[in-house]
Amino acid sequence: MAKYKRILLKLSGESLMGEKQYGIDEKRLAEYAEQIKEIHEQGIQIGIVIGGGNIFRGLSGASKGFDRVKGDQMGMLATVINSLALSSALVATEVKARVLTAVRMEPIGEFYSKWKAIECMENGEVVIMSAGTGNPFFTTDTGSSLRGIEIEADVMLKGTRVDGIYTADPEKDPTATKFDDITYDEVLKRGLKVMDLTATCMCKENNLPIVVFDMDTVGNLKKVISGEEIGTLVHN
């Protein structure tokens, strides 16, 4: 039995690189599409937000002299490229997918609205919501929090390269210990980098729980959906 009826799945752009140094790893993309197909066949309504860090990150662009607004707009376009790639991979597995964009760019994608997204999900389509919030100075973490709240998702599933939230970065600190679950207040108090501050506060205020888990291990998405206690649950 599935634990959730409607989810917001947040994927990182960096994860799409797979073994590569830049861009999109077709093997990783296909693995993601298969995992999403698996839960889609259970009747789960799926909204997806993907980052763009594998192509361009606005903040790092600003540190190299780019105008911050233009840099963030380039980052938004990077998320659209990733969204089109995932949508193509899903359609190849015979899952209906639709790309909605926060910035008008028909015919690449339809302009996002909450009601369009919900209607598509209720009709059995996977909805990929791209271009962040459509505004500079907001990350795709904030974009996914906003979309998760708007589409009335039961949970945000944050697929990352690590298997949950730790007291410190486990890739740098071997003594870091993992939380099975943690409150938003504790995340904020400890200054843990789960998501940026705006995104974390939005989820807290709107009572949207987050599960942070390792999406790169095939089969984990289905385990989270079925209620297996992998990853870390963040809640009020």
pLDDT of 136 reads: 95
Residue 2: what are its φ and ψ, rounded to 5°? -80, 140
Q: Which letter, b or e, does each residue of 34-67 get, where b requires 16 or more Cβ atoms within 10 Å of its Cβ?
A: bbbbbbbeeebbbbbbbbbbbbbbbeebbeeebe
Q: How many CA atoms lie within 13 A of 126 on its CB side?
A: 29
| Distance between CA atoms of residues 36 and 31, nearest Å | 9
Is the predicted pLDDT of residue 59 greater than 80, yes or no? Answer: no
Count structural domains, the chain: 1
Whether pLDDT at 111 is above 90? yes
10 Å Cβ neighbour count for 172?
Answer: 7
pLDDT greater than 90 at residue 60: no
Estimate to the nearest angstrom the gap between the alpha carbon of 90 and the chain centroid. 16
Q: What residues make up the domain containing 206? A: 4-232
Q: Which residues are annotated as a binding site?
A: 10-13, 52-53, 57, 72, 133-140, 160, 166, 169
Enumerate residues 6+ apart whose C-beta is below 8 A from 221: 9, 35, 36, 38, 39, 157, 159, 213, 215
If phi over 0 gives left and psi between -120 and 50 gives alpha, with beta otherwise, what is residue 134? left
pLDDT tens track for 163-176: 999 998 888 888 99
| CATH code, 81 | 3.40.1160.10
Provide, rounded to the nearest whole percent, the portion of the chain with pLDDT above 90.
86
Of 79, 85, 94, residue with least CA distance to 28: 85
Burial class, 8, CB count within 10 angstroms (exposed 0-12 / middle 13-18 / buried 19+): buried
**Separation CA 128–CA 47 (nearest Å):** 6
Question: What is the CB neighbour count within 10 angstroms for residue 206?
Answer: 14
Residue scoring higher pLDDT (160 or 100) = 100
Q: Which residues are annotated as a binding site for ATP?
A: 10-13, 53, 57, 160, 166, 169
Alpha-carbon span 126 to 83, nearest angstrom: 11
Tell me the sheet residues that pair with 183. Answer: 235
Numbered residues of the known binding site for UMP: 52, 72, 133-140
For the whole model, what pTM was predicted?
A: 0.95
Q: What is the pLDDT of residues 149-208, one digit of tens each?
A: 999 999 999 999 889 999 988 888 889 999 999 999 999 999 998 899 999 999 999 999
